[in-house]
Amino acid sequence: MVYLSTLGGDTGAATNSFVFGNAPPDATSVVIQPGRETGKVEGGLFLVGLAQKDLLPTNLAWQFLSSAGTVVQAGTGISG
């Protein structure tokens, strides 16, 4: 499951959007677009902060990677 929480407008913060959720069983990291931000999977959970404000789910893409760097699962938008 992939969720998105985003702050709108000029917040002045370095992080304006958060992508979080549950990762597939074999995933050890996640890559979030836009920005190619990476995050670590711990205990099946992940949280990645993004600088983008007003981020729409339609502009979100993600890839879960195994420890070998292969794609375990990929998609766009949010799921739940």
Length of the chain measured in residues: 80
Q: How many domains does the chain have?
A: 1
Q: Which domain holds residue 52?
A: 2-76
- Cα separation of 32 and 13, whole Å? 19
Q: Is 17 exposed, middle or buried (0-12, 13-18, 19+ CB in 10 A)?
A: buried
> Is 80 exceeded by the pLDDT of residue 58?
yes
Where residue 50 sits, what CATH number does that domain have?
2.60.40
Q: H or E segment at 46?
A: strand 45-50
Q: Can you read off the two tokens belonging to residue 9?
A: 């407008």
Spacing of C-alpha 25 from chain mean position: 16
Whole-model pTM: value is 0.89
> Is 70 exceeded by the pLDDT of residue 15?
yes
